[in-house]
Amino acid sequence: MIPEELPEIIPEEMRGVAAKISAGERVTNEEGEALFRSKDIALLGILAGVVRRRFNGDRVYFNRNFHIEPTNICIHNCRFCSYRKPAGSPGSWDYTPDQIMDIVKSFDNKPVTEVHIVGGVHPAHDLHYYGKILSMIKAHRPGIHIKAFTAVELDYMIKKGGLTLEEGLAELKKYGLDSIPGGGAEIFDEVIRREICDDKSSSEKWLKIHEVAHRTGLPSNATILYGHIENYGHRIDHLDRLRRLQDKTGGFNAFIPLKFRKSNNPMEKQGEVSLIEDMKNYAVSRIFLDNFPHIKAYWPALGRSSTQLSLSFGVDDVDGTIDDTTKIYSMAGAEDQRPAMDTSEISALIRGAGYTPVERDTLYNVVREW
């Protein structure tokens, strides 16, 4: 509990919610919005720290992974996207299965534990096309964890393969899928979703796919795309829908807030939110999602020093070594145009903020303490 004799460090209007957080009680949507409205960013960091220590002590996790972005050809036209191209246009790519295997083979002598596969929704590829690629990866490197395909990609490839969600996810698991990344969630509020990614799978569908995945034994992550036209109410609504699903299934590992980056997309004039807003978002997510074990700062999107700061606002995971294998964020204007950090750099970043670096696998089993 918060000691009675120190009330002056907490503004009066925050004392009720601060006491609840300190006692491990769940905060309501109204309290979540009040936390977002607070200008007391230092207090938010302290309160998020209370929750992060309950889950993760002073540990900060990272993993060794690489990304494959099989195609940037996409049937959707999200207004925030700097990456997609219509089929046949200059700058578009669609790697063949052999080209994808060449990327996998280029990591043969590296101790990576995960491959993260996310790309555009290609009109011609169904779940069997991608499933065969998963089998080829597993045949070549049986020990690697395949975290692949956002719910939006899954929605299309399963429908195109003529299967139900249940059948499609079970089939992909048989092909070698181990877990599902958190992308495609964007913002669940239907009005805002229509404005920024009108033709994409609905919020209801995104949540359904993750629910069925969890029931199929495929754990997953969740994201939010924040810092564009949404308000605090929309962010809390998003967190609330995730918290409810997690109460039901327990299948989410990490929540990953993704800051909208403005370059080379139709929403450029929207600008980007401040560092204060980023830290607030991490802290409130950590406090509100009291059933998510991990909050991840995706460093290629956020930048290195902001990622380091985020560790004092509830973040306990900085994702992976990545090794310059993702283009989604460099194309949208992130500082790191060739994002790559080795384990000693990641470890120094974490230690530099006073935390203990822990190398994990995708499912948060400890690989090594650094």
Binding segment (CB under 6 A) for ligand V47, from list 54-62, 260-268, 273-281, 346-354: 260-268
328 binding ligand V47? (CB under 6 A): yes
Closest approach, Cβ 170 to ligand V47, in A, equals: 21
Gyration radius of the chain's alpha carbons = 20
Q: CB-wise, 163 or 222, nearer to ligand V47?
A: 222
14 binding ligand V47? (CB under 6 A): no
CA 313 – CA 287 distance, rounded (Å): 10
Binding segment (CB under 6 A) for ligand V47, from list 2-10, 19-27, 180-188, 350-358: 180-188
CA 338 – CA 314 distance, rounded (Å): 27
Cα 182 to Cα 47, 116, 117, 295: the distances in Å are 25, 11, 12, 12
By rule CB under 6 A, what string of x and - marks binding of each residue 227-256 to ligand V47?
-----------------------------x
Closest approach, Cβ 150 to ligand V47, in A, equals: 6
260 binding ligand V47? (CB under 6 A): yes
Closest approach, Cβ 182 to ligand V47, in A, equals: 4
Q: CB-wise, 161 or 184, nearer to ligand V47?
A: 184
184 binding ligand V47? (CB under 6 A): yes
Q: Which DSSP symbol is given to 83?
A: S
258 binding ligand V47? (CB under 6 A): yes
> What count of other Cβ atoms lies within 10 Å of the Cβ of residue 122?
22
Handedness of CA 109, 115, 121, 126 (dihedral sign): positive
CA 22 – CA 51 distance, rounded (Å): 8
Closest approach, Cβ 268 to ligand V47, in A, equals: 9
- Orientation of helix 41-56 relative to helix 275-288, angle to 10°: 40
CA 276 – CA 287 distance, rounded (Å): 16
Residue 258, H or E segment: strand 252-259
120 binding ligand V47? (CB under 6 A): no
By rule CB under 6 A, what string of x and - marks binding of each residue 186-225 to ligand V47?
x----------------------------------x-x-x
Q: Are 245 and 290 in contact (CB under 8 A)?
A: no
Residue 233, H or E segment: helix 232-249
Q: CB-wise, 160 or 261, nearer to ligand V47?
A: 261
By rule CB under 6 A, what string of x and - marks binding of each residue 134-153 to ligand V47?
----------------x---
Cα 154 to Cα 102, 205, 316: the distances in Å are 24, 10, 28
265 binding ligand V47? (CB under 6 A): yes
Q: CB-wise, 56 or 150, nearer to ligand V47?
A: 150
Residues that bind ligand V47 (CB under 6 A): 80-82, 118, 150, 181-184, 186, 221, 223, 225, 256, 258, 260-261, 265, 298, 319, 328, 332
